[in-house]
Amino acid sequence: MTERQTIRTARESADVLILGAGPAGLTLANLLHAAGIDCVVLERADRAHVQTRARAGFLAANTVRVLERHGLADGLHRRGRPHGTCEFRTEDGSFRLDYGALGRHEQHTVYPQQDLVTDLLTHYLDAGGRIHFETEARTVQDAAGPRPTVAVQEADGRPDRWRARYVAGCDGRHGAARRSLPTGTLRHHRDHGVTWLGLLAEAPPSLDAVGYALHPHGFAGHMARTADITRYYLQYERGIPADAWSEERIWAELDLRMYTAEHGPLHHGRILQRSVIDLESDVIEPLRHGSLLLAGDAASLPAPAAAKGANLAVLEAELLAEALIDELAHHDSRALDRYSRRCLEHIWRAQEFAHWMIQLLHAPAGPDEGSYFHEAMRRSRIESLRTSRTHQDWFAENYVGI
């Protein structure tokens, strides 16, 4: 065997192949590597893109506990900020919920997802972990057998194959793991009929709370990211490109919907990023198909109305890591057999709350009898949330919980 062949054989095999270098994939990689499990991460993007993908920024208390448990929380402790207040603005006035003092008395930690991913990646590489960027997984084959293979396209365009004992699909809902699921796999999908324009603004936060504004023109949201960057959302007409509105129009609409005439002006700044987000939810069931296991957005996609996606991803990664370590290091398959059921319990609870938030934040479309009923129900929910301590405790527990 030539030296080149030796290198290819070593490189193209592992106990666990992890597809995708997001929160789920990198958390899983760190936990497996720390336990001495041979694993490799395959990521289709380059390193710079992975470390700058702007996503969610609110980590739940349980997510922080998971990261602390495994020595992965140093960065968020240094740079993250505790947050426990949200503010609702409507035509009928506004109110605040100090949700950190309600329910289980738990807060979020504001920490941009790209910073968390950078921390996880740095920790993994510093510990000697293996990752291949610009390596796109195309298909997972033979997952029903003991040694599945993953067909990939390498950074130089060359096709190749990797072999493993298990494949962890953490590569999102459009990735190779989902494309390779067997016939008969259940996909539960819901289009909520709502579209957002997601914005990242070079502007300091204008509220010391998460802001939810319910306006006749549509929903607007305000979420702090850093001292100089703020995330905004605007309910948006479906099918309109993200660049259709000028910055002037965006800020005019945000000022209107956030009721700045009553509550004071927003800090304006340059729009750094914009994207159109159709609010959809889906869940794959089951999450295990032989040697192929799903986690993160490949397993489920909660609509981004309650900041559940990254938090579910970290929780699922820990459960999957524990199960794979039991199987590969101790020959105990019981946790792996329970993996799908345990994750789905958390997933459906998160999906239910995300659906409730969507119904709360968005007015029905169209002036018909059903829409009037929907709107009356929505106003009743808002009033109950404003006045009922029981309702507030329920909201707090589900808002931060996962």
Q: pLDDT per residue over 132-166, tens digit each?
A: 999 999 999 999 988 999 999 998 899 999 999 99
Q: Which pLDDT belongs to residue 2? A: 34
Mean of the pLDDT values across residues 59-84?
A: 96
Greater confidence (328 vs 369) lies with 328
Q: Which pLDDT belongs to residue 372? A: 83
Mean of the pLDDT values across residues 276-284?
A: 95
Whether residues 155 and 254 fall in one domain: no
Q: Say whether pLDDT at 357 is over 90.
A: yes
Q: What is the pLDDT of residues 11-38, one digit of tens each?
A: 468 999 999 999 999 999 999 999 999 9
Confidence of residue 303 (pLDDT cuts 50, 70, 90): confident
Residue 221 pairs in a beta bridge with 212, 233
Q: Which pLDDT belongs to residue 8? A: 38
Whether residues 141 and 259 fall in one domain: no
Q: Which of 23, 148, 304, 346 is catalytic?
A: 304
Domain limits for position 254: 190-281
Share of the chain above pLDDT 70, in %: 96
Whether residues 207 and 337 fall in one domain: no
Task: Output the average pLDDT for the chain.
Answer: 93
195 found inside a domain: yes
Mean of the pLDDT values across residues 327-347?
A: 97
Confidence of residue 323 (pLDDT cuts 50, 70, 90): very high
Whether residues 337 and 195 fall in one domain: no
Whether residues 208 and 346 fall in one domain: no
Residue 313, token pair as written in the block: 């991803």
Whether residues 37 and 125 fall in one domain: yes
Q: What is the pLDDT of residues 244-277, one digit of tens each?
A: 999 999 999 999 999 999 999 999 999 999 999 9
Q: Which pLDDT belongs to residue 7? A: 32
266 found inside a domain: yes
383 found inside a domain: no
Q: What is the DSSP annotation of 20-43? A: --SHHHHHHHHHHHHTT--EEEE-
The H-or-E segment that residue 136 falls in is strand 136-141
Q: Say whether pLDDT at 364 is over 80.
A: no
Active site residue 339: no
Q: Which of 108, 123, 308, 355 is catalytic?
A: 308
234 found inside a domain: yes
Query: Distance between CA atoms of 399 and 357, rounded to whole angstroms?
Result: 9
Whether residues 123 and 177 fall in one domain: yes
Whether residues 223 and 322 fall in one domain: no
Active site residue 308: yes
Q: Which of 99, 212, 236, 259 is catalytic?
A: 212
Whether residues 174 and 205 fall in one domain: no
- Cβ atoms of residues 67 and 78 within 8 Å: no
Q: Say whether pLDDT at 106 is over 70.
A: yes
62 found inside a domain: no
- What are the backbone dihedrals phi and psi of residue 35, each rounded to the nearest 5 degrees, phi first? -90, 5
Closest CA to 269 of 281, 257, 251, 254: 251
Q: Say whether pLDDT at 9 is over 60.
A: no
Q: Which of 83, 215, 222, 289 is catalytic?
A: 83
Strands (E), 175-229: 186-202, 210-215, 218-224
Confidence of residue 61 (pLDDT cuts 50, 70, 90): very high
Confidence of residue 4 (pLDDT cuts 50, 70, 90): very low
Q: Which pLDDT belongs to residue 306? A: 85
Residue 183, token pair as written in the block: 């016939």
Whether residues 128 and 50 fall in one domain: yes
Q: Say whether pLDDT at 356 is over 50.
A: yes
The domain that holds 240 is classified in CATH as: 3.30.9.10
Active site residue 304: yes
- Cβ atoms of residues 39 and 17 within 8 Å: yes
The domain that holds 162 is classified in CATH as: 3.50.50.60
Q: Which pLDDT belongs to residue 55? A: 73
Closest CA to 291 of 330, 320, 316, 312: 320
What percent of the residues of the chain are helix, what percent strand, and what percent coil, each to the nearest 5? 40, 30, 30
Of 223, 252, 281, the position where a domain reaches its end is 281
Bond from prior residue into 286 cis (ω within 30 degrees of 0): yes
Q: What is the pLDDT of residues 210-236, one digit of tens each?
A: 999 999 999 999 998 888 999 999 999
Active site residue 374: no
Query: Distance between CA atoms of 211 and 285, rounded to whole angstroms?
Result: 34
104 found inside a domain: no
Of 258, 281, 304, the position where a domain reaches its end is 281
Mean of the pLDDT values across residues 175-185?
A: 95
Whether residues 45 and 130 fall in one domain: yes
- State how many domains the chain has: 2
Q: Which pLDDT belongs to residue 57? A: 83
3-state secondary structure of 223: strand
Which DSSP state fits 100?
G
Q: Say whether pLDDT at 313 is over 70.
A: yes
Q: Say whether pLDDT at 3 is over 60.
A: no
Q: Which pLDDT belongs to residue 227? A: 87
Share of the chain above pLDDT 90, in %: 86
